[in-house]
Structure 1
Amino acid sequence: MRPTPDDPDAWYAYLAEGNAKQARKRVAADLLLRDSAGRVLLVRPTYKPGWDLPGGMAEDNEPPEGAVVRELAEELGLAVALHGLLVVDWVAPHGPWDDQLAFIFDGGILDRDDLHPVDGELAEARFIVVDEALGLVRERMRKRLAAALRAQHEGRTAYLHDGTALW
């Protein structure tokens, strides 16, 4: 017989068992940060090839918006304010990875050319013209970044499946 809330200890154990069986999602949280010329901030990680948006993976029980704020502080020494959510992308399992949820938040405008990595995870950070930025990032990020730019322009959040907009 299934426990009921009338027996709080048994009910809590029942719920905890169900929680342990639920799927866990990896969560990535990135930031679209532009300068007043419209260029996009990209970073070049040391642990993978190519360029990327600043941000990273959420830690256990960390909300996506907390992850992106933490990552920008850790990697670039920036205290950022978020101006909204631009993209949610469900990424299907690929290679050795399970599926994940990837978020891109709007970081607004930052006019600074003196950005320098403050930890070993980044080799470089710089603002890059949009067309060039789209050519520097990997295909998965290219689709997500293009959707984020559209969402920012349209003032609405985009929901994607592997980079393809559903709405």
Structure 2
Amino acid sequence: MTNSSDDRPLYERDPVAWQAYLAEGNAKQARKRVGADVLIRNEQGHVLLVNPRYKPDWDLPGGMVEANETPHQAAERELCEELGVEVRAGRLLVVDWVAPHGPWDDSLMFVFDCGMVTGEQARSLRLADGELLEFRFISPDDARATLRPYVWQRLDHAVAAATDGGFRYLINGVAHGPR
């Protein structure tokens, strides 16, 4: 933003006007709901799924990002709160834009790779905060039958990205753009 009488950017010419401009944009621009999930597999290649108390269906471990929290921090926090395990969210595997549905606005869902766990690490998982009814490692085929179709698609792309070292950008669970 410049004007013809002074070619310096607005933030240098009038810092107060610049802050007002930013505040107006912040008030009017879309705010996205953001979720952060993780892919955790055991030595047999089974994936960890959770059965939340507050949802009708199984899901990937993770949850919603809180205000001013990064997605990877949210994934780590959610795993600690729900399953009593401290993990480091690894490489970003998937970003999935989810269209508005029901009372929800659109959202961005991130899936991070948390790698493989040993049998001992898997046995250390526990229901920690009452949000989950149960959790289990299941085969990808059983995951397909267990998850809602769009969550299954997100998981399937996450497993593929973890396997091939790639990244997937999805729209409602469907790959968008080059792989």
In which range does the TM-score fall when normalised by the shorter chain? over 0.9
Q: Could you tell me whether the CA contact under 8 Å between 2:75 and 2:89 is conserved in 1?
A: no
C-alpha displacement at 1:83, in angstroms? 2.4
The residue matched to 2:16 in structure 1 has which SS? helix
2:6 corresponds to: none
C-alpha displacement at 1:151, in angstroms? 1.0
C-alpha displacement at 1:9, in angstroms? 2.0
The residue matched to 2:90 in structure 1 has which SS? coil
Do structure 1's residue 106 and structure 2's residue 116 form an aligned pair? no
1:162 corresponds to: 172
The residue matched to 1:87 in structure 2 has which SS? strand
C-alpha displacement at 1:102, in angstroms? 0.6
TM-score, length-normalised on structure 1? 0.94
Do structure 1's residue 4 and structure 2's residue 10 form an aligned pair? yes
**CA–CA distance in 2 between the matches of 1:115 and 1:11?**
49
Bigger Cα Rg:
2
C-alpha displacement at 1:114, in angstroms? 4.0
Where in structure 1 are there 5+ consecutive unaligned residues?
Answer: none
TM-score, length-normalised on structure 2? 0.88
Do structure 1's residue 19 and structure 2's residue 26 form an aligned pair? yes
- Output the amino acid matched with 1:134: R
Where in structure 2 are there 5+ consecutive unaligned residues?
Answer: 4-8
Q: Could you tell me whether the CA contact under 8 Å between 1:54 and 1:72 is conserved in 2?
A: yes
- Output the amino acid matched with 1:17: E
The residue matched to 1:65 in structure 2 has which SS? helix
- Output the amino acid matched with 2:126: H
Q: Give the CA RMSD over aligned residues.
A: 1.5
C-alpha displacement at 1:82, in angstroms? 2.3
Q: What is the percentage of aligned positions where both structures have the same residue?
A: 57
